C-alpha cells in the first residue's frame, strides 16, 4: 500500500493532480468552503525548513515544521543558477508545507496558502482534509530527485521531478502504528508542476499533474 492509493490519486488529479504524499487506505474527503480560501482564485518533530524566515531574497517566509519521524530529501537542492534555485526552493517548501498541514490538521495553513494558489491550493486543502478524515499522518522518508526547471515565455516555470515513496508511510494518530508497506513500481511517481512568481517574489504552485509507476522514475 502506497502513501497515495490509486483511487485517491485519480480523484485528486482533477484539482491538483497528485501531490507529494497520500493517505494509505483512502480518504477522499474535501472541504466545503474551498471558495473562501485566500489565493484560490488567482525526522524530528522540531525539524524546521532550512529556508524558513530568513531567506537570501529578503522575503519573509513562514516556518515549516515536519512531523516527527518525517523527512523529505531533495536532489538537487540547488543548481548554481539563482532563478532556477528559487523555483526549487519554493517548490520544496510547498511539499514540506503539505506534510506540516497534515500533522497539524490544518488544511488552510499559512504555509499552504503561501506556496500555492488556484487549482493547486484547492486540491491541497482537499488532500490534507482527507488525512484528517482518516485519522492519519505521515512518517518515513520521501526522496524527490531529477528536479528540472524550464521557464516559459509567459513568465511561468515548469518543474518536473520524480518521487520515491518506497520508504514513506502513513501513521495512525490514535494507535501510533506505522503502516509499513512493500515497495512496488507504483512507489515511484513522475510529477509535472506549473509555478508562477507572485508580487512578493514567491514561486507558487498553480497546477500539478502526475504519473504513478512512471518508467522515467524507476530505480
Give the Cα separation of 180 and 211 in Å (integer): 22
Distances from the Cα of 183 to the Cα of 17, 24, 124, 126, angstroms = 22, 13, 25, 26
Exposed/middle/buried for residue 4 (C-beta within 10 Å: 0-12, 13-18, 19+)? buried
Mean pLDDT of 108-133: 95
Binned at pLDDT 50, 70 and 90, residue 75 comes out as very high
Give the Cα separation of 33 and 42 in Å (integer): 16
Residue 53 has pLDDT above 50, yes or no: no
Residue 14 has pLDDT above 60, yes or no: no
CB 9 within 8 A of CB 210: yes
Average pLDDT, the chain: 82
Residue 132 has pLDDT above 80, yes or no: yes
Binned at pLDDT 50, 70 and 90, residue 49 comes out as low
Exposed/middle/buried for residue 46 (C-beta within 10 Å: 0-12, 13-18, 19+)? exposed
**Chain centroid offset of residue 26 CA:** 17
Give the Cα separation of 53 and 71 in Å (integer): 20
Read off φ and ψ for residue 188, nearest 5 degrees. Answer: -115, 130
Cβ count near 45 (within 10 Å): 11
Residue 54 has pLDDT above 50, yes or no: no
Give the Cα separation of 103 and 138 in Å (integer): 7
Q: Can you give the pLDDT at residue 16?
A: 37
Read off φ and ψ for residue 94, nearest 5 degrees. Answer: -60, -45
Give the Cα separation of 101 and 66 in Å (integer): 9
Mean pLDDT of 6-32: 35
Judged by average pLDDT, the poorest of 48-57, 58-67, 111-120, 202-211 is: 48-57
**Higher per-residue confidence, 172 vs 44:** 172
Residue 48 has pLDDT above 80, yes or no: no
Give the Cα separation of 51 and 93 in Å (integer): 8
Residue 91 host element (H or E): helix 82-104
CB 62 within 8 A of CB 98: no
Beta strands in the chain (DSSP E): 70-74, 136-151, 157-172, 188-197, 203-212
Amino acid at each position: 500500500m502506497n502513501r497515495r492509493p490509486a483511487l485517491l490519486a485519480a480523484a485528486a488529479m482533477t484539482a491538483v493532480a497528485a501531490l507529494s504524499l497520500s493517505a494509505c487506505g483512502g480518504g477522499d474527503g474535501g472541504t466545503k468552503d474551498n471558495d473562501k480560501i485566500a489565493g484560490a482564485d488567482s525526522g524530528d518533530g522540531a525539524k524546521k525548513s532550512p529556508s524558513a524566515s530568513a531567506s537570501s531574497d529578503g522575503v519573509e517566509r513562514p516556518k515549516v515544521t515536519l512531523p516527527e519521524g518525517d523527512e523529505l530529501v531533495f536532489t538537487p537542492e540547488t543548481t548554481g543558477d539563482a532563478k532556477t534555485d528559487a523555483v526549487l526552493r519554493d517548490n520544496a517548501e510547498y511539499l514540506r508545507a503539505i506534510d506540516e498541514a497534515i500533522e497539524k490538521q490544518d488544511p488552510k495553513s499559512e504555509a499552504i496558502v503561501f506556496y500555492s494558489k488556484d487549482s493547486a491550493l484547492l486540491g491541497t486543502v482537499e488532500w490534507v482534509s482527507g488525512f484528517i478524515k482518516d485519522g492519519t499522518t505521515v512518517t518515513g522518508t520521501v526522496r524527490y530527485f531529477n528536479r528540472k526547471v524550464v521557464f516559459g515565455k509567459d513568465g511561468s516555470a515548469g518543474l518536473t521531478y520524480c518521487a520515491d515513496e518506497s520508504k514513506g508511510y502513513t501513521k495512525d494518530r490514535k494507535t501510533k502504528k506505522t503502516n509499513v508497506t512493500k515497495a512496488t513500481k507504483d512507489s515511484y511517481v513522475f510529477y509535472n508542476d506549473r509555478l508562477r512568481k507572485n508580487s512578493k517574489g514567491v514561486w507558487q504552485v498553480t497546477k500539478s499533474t502526475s504519473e504513478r509507476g512512471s518508467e522515467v522514475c524507476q530505480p
